[in-house]
Structure 1
Amino acid sequence: MRGRDAALDGIRALAALGVWLLHVGSNTGVMYREGLLAWMMSRLGVAVPIFFLLSGLLLYRPWARAVIEDTPRPRTPRYLWRRVLRVMPLYWLVTGLTLWAWSSFDLTGWLTWMLLAQNHFPGDDTTPDGLYQMWTLPVEMSFYLLLPLIAWALHRWARCGNRPVRLLAGIGVLPLVSVVTVVVARVYDLPQLGTLLPYQLVFFACGMALAVLSVWIGHSRVVESLAPQLLVLAGLVYVLLSTELAGPRTLALPTLSQSLWRLCLEAAVAVLVVTPFALAPGSGALRDRVLGHPVTAYFGRISYGFFLWHVPVITLQLKLMGAQPFGGDPAGVAVVSFVVTTLLSVVSHHLVELPVLRLARTERAPDRPREAPPQVARVP
């Protein structure tokens, strides 16, 4: 599975749409109404664990391949440089415009947000309008920074014995960090821990485990044959996630048992959704043709911009409408915000993301040695 995987891009597109729909529903009050549909809308935040899982899968796979197939390991400075180029330029653009429009931060506040330190140094200020979705970016960046160290430790652990099995065993320790963090957060009333990497590490670990399996077993005919059942099971688990078992749908804090249930159910949904495409790629089945369709895959490629832009767009739209909190026309907000956000995402993808990514590829590509000129025999 080298290069881009169109179906995984399609999953990323669906996850971005899930986050957008969640925020449309929360801002217009739809998800606080009665009924199962409102509850199911309130759990669309499971899209964030899917994003985290995809990061673990795609970023750890070169390290997993290095252990299992004895290929060269990624160079840490180059890897980190590419992560910075991938995340920060567009983040700076969107965050800078939003802070300029709706915040009263001083220089310290600006630096905190522009350096992705808002989760670690929240201060006394509330989250500025239009930026409440940005809590996920410091978590992602923390994982990016820590991944080379985790990969190094797993490499040393797995180099003796059955390497894939030992890798999976080592990765299996990481979810325990999340469980311990959830317990500490609830017992000691520290909800801010939920926006830090240790709390969310289980989702990245699931992706890392899938990365090991994708290198170890490659294309699995068993997974391919069970793919429809896995996706149906994901839907059933999502319905269970949409009950009070996983906590309230408001901003009220869940209990310890509800937090643990939610963590487990969200991880299960993410794994069940991604596994058929991570371990049975390119099978030509309908699910692959739909998610891997050029339109869906393209939306997946612009999904990062869509994720960044959609909340400022919804915020601006509601301010221009003069809507009351949890008010506004849901259909109107959905249609206008989708169109405007998509247009902004396309423009920023081609004017910001692609030029920066080309720079990253240029930095990566080594100079090819020139071929020696052919020896021409002299004519006697």
Structure 2
Amino acid sequence: MALVGLGWMFWSYTPGRGIQTYYYIFMPFGYAAFFGVGMAIGTLSAYRQVTGEVPRIHQWIARHPLACWGGALAALLLYFPRFLGPTDGSVGTWGATADHMVEYVLFFVFGTLAVLPLTVPELSHRALNPILNNRTLANVGRYSYGVYLWNVPVMYLYFHRGRLFGNTPLGMNDVPPHMALPEVLWFSVYCFGVTAMMTWLSWNLVEHPAIKLRTRFGAPKSALELGYSQLTPTTG
């Protein structure tokens, strides 16, 4: 599926697509690589839950806990100058195609390496344990879905100057290809603050009451609620 995603994005950004590129890149095929790696990570967790065996990749991550996050940080640092400096954000040229493909690969590498260690229960490191075992940070997980839902509308409002409705939708060309550092800082503060506020409201007004209804009707606990407490993993 990773090859499908890469192939689709390459085809979408080739010069022949022109302005229609922006219709193609948001189709499900463009996210195939991310869907594929997500299903692979989920399959590994399901495998160990059913068999009680620890996959080799989980064993390796447990022995080298900083390797994945170091790689994710490297991918992020490679992308960051592109966010601050000029980049060929247009379409219709092979330079733009290469530019967007580099961006896609960096996002894919960052997302995969950042998430994968969090699925390994044995992960332990004296420098990481105070962070991983912090109850406040652990509770952040309950708000993650709200962050996922609200961050795009919040950014939309910023680039559309606060107009949510109208006859002219926000297009990709309305987003500046790069921003000066002061605007980057203001944009970050704005997105974090407004997204946090909307996430808190949606959790307390919608998600948490819905969870209470779920338990009231006697629904079984989810895999996330059960965790790995019932497993006795092997190291073979």
TM-score range, shorter chain: 0.5 to 0.7
Residue 175 (structure 1) aligns with: 2
Match of 2:73 among 235, 259, 274: 235
Q: Identify which of 42, 49, 71 aligns with 1:211.
A: 42
Q: Which residue of 1 aligns with 2:104?
A: 263
**Cα 1:299/1:365, change in 2 over 3 Å:** closer
User: 2:88·2:99 contact (CA, 8 Å) conserved in 1?
Assistant: no
- Superposed CA deviations along residues 309-331 of structure 1, whole A, max 9, x for unmatched, are 45448649x659xxxx9798665
Alignment of 1:1-380 (within 5 A): 174-187=1-14, 188-189=16-17, 190-191=20-21, 192-214=23-45, 215-216=47-48, 217-218=53-54, 220-242=58-80, 249=87, 251-253=89-91, 255-281=96-122, 283=124, 285-310=126-151, 311-312=153-154, 315=158, 334-335=188-189, 338-361=192-215, 365=219
For residue 209 of structure 1, report the CA deviation from its aligned partner.
1.4
Q: 1:288 to 1:267 in 2, by over 3 A?
A: farther
Which amino acid in 1 is paired with 2:3? L
For 2:233, the equivalent position in structure 1 comes to: none
- Backbone CA RMSD of aligned residues: 3.8
Give unpaired runs (5+ residues) of structure 2.
164-175, 221-236
Q: Tell me the SS of whatever aligns to 2:25.
A: helix
Which residue identity lines up with residue 54 of structure 2 in the other structure?
Answer: G
1:239 shift after superposition = 2.7
Could you tell me how far apart the structure 1 residues matched to 2:88 and 2:130 are? 37
Is the 8 Å Cα contact of residues 213 and 279 (structure 1) preserved in structure 2?
A: no
Map Cα deviations across residues 209-260 of structure 1 (whole Å, 9 max, x no partner): 122233345373421121212222222233334466xx96474236333333
Given that residues 186 and 256 in structure 1 are in contact (C-alpha distance below 8 angstroms), is that contact kept between their aligned partners in structure 2? yes
Partner of 1:195: helix, strand, or coil?
A: coil
Q: Radius of gyration: which is bigger? A: 1
Would you say the 8 A contact 2:72–2:113 is kept in 1?
yes
Q: SS where residue 176 of structure 1 aligns? A: helix
Q: Secondary structure at the match of 2:124?
A: coil
**d(CA) in 2 for partners of 1:343 and 1:179?**
35
- SS of 1:252's equivalent in the other structure is coil
Structure 1 residue 203: Cα displacement:
0.9
In the superposition, relative to structure 1, how do residues 277 and 364 fare at CA in structure 2: closer, same or farther (>3 Å)? Answer: same
Q: Residues 175 and 221 from structure 1, CA distance in 2 versus in 1: closer, same or farther, beyond 3 angstroms?
A: closer
Partner Cα separation in structure 1 for residue 80 and residue 186 of structure 2: 25
Question: Which residue identity is paired with 2:128?
Answer: R
Structure 1 Cα separation of the partners of residues 97 and 183 of structure 2: 36
Query: 2: CA distance between counterparts of 1:195 and 1:263?
Result: 13
CA gap 1:205/1:334 in 2 versus in 1, 3 angstroms: closer
Measured in 1, the distance between the counterparts of 2:197 and 2:127 equals: 28
Q: Distance in 2 between matches of 1:186 and 1:335?
A: 32
TM-score under structure 1 length normalisation:
0.40
The C-alpha deviation readout for 1:176-195, integer Å capped at 9, x for no partner, is 32133123212341312111
> Residue 283 of structure 1: SS of its match in structure 2?
coil
- In the alignment, the residues of structure 1 paired with residue 184 and residue 7 of structure 2 have an alpha-carbon distance, to the nearest angstrom, of 39
**1:77-126 deviation digits (Å, cap 9, x = unpaired):** xxxxxxxxxxxxxxxxxxxxxxxxxxxxxxxxxxxxxxxxxxxxxxxxxx
What CA distance in whole angstroms lies between the structure 2 residues aligned with 1:186 and 1:213?
Answer: 33
Q: Which runs of 5+ in 1 are unaligned?
A: 1-173, 367-380
Q: TM-score, normalised by structure 2?
A: 0.60
Note if contact 2:117-2:123 (Cα within 8 Å) is conserved in structure 1: no
Distance change in 2, residues 1:293/1:240 (3 Å)? same
Alpha carbons of structure 1 residues 228 and 193: separation in structure 2 relative to 1, 3 Å? same
**C-alpha separation in 1, matches of 2:189 and 2:10:** 40
Match of 1:255, SS?
helix
